[in-house]
């Protein structure tokens, strides 16, 4: 676990790619999500499971 996990933003804070990157790429790998949603997924999955897979943008081709 990283220090950032413990010194985290508010549960309703949105996590997304910076706008500068959104202007360069045409589609994001991950959709924006709330920190609280991420924490909920972290606690519901096994340690070996990938947490970010849940937030993948499935509209990519």
State the pLDDT at residue 2: 62
pTM for this prediction: 0.66
Which pLDDT score, from 0 to 100, does residue 7 have? Answer: 78
Angle at 37 between CA 16 and CA 52, to 5 degrees: 60
14-15 vs 33-34, strand pairing mode: antiparallel
Q: What is the pLDDT along the chain (61 residues), one digit of tens a residue?
A: 566 667 788 999 998 888 887 667 667 788 899 999 988 988 888 887 888 888 888 765 4
Q: What is the pLDDT of residue 51?
A: 81
Separation between Cα atoms, residue 44 and residue 30, nearest integer Å: 19
């Amino acid at each position: 676990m990283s220090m950032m996990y413990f010194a985290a933003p508010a549960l309703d804070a949105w996590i997304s790619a910076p706008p500068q990157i959104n202007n360069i790429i045409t589609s994001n790998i991950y959709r924006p999500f709330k920190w609280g949603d991420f924490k909920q997924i972290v606690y519901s999955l096994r340690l070996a499971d990938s947490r970010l897979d849940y937030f993948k943008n499935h509209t990519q081709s």
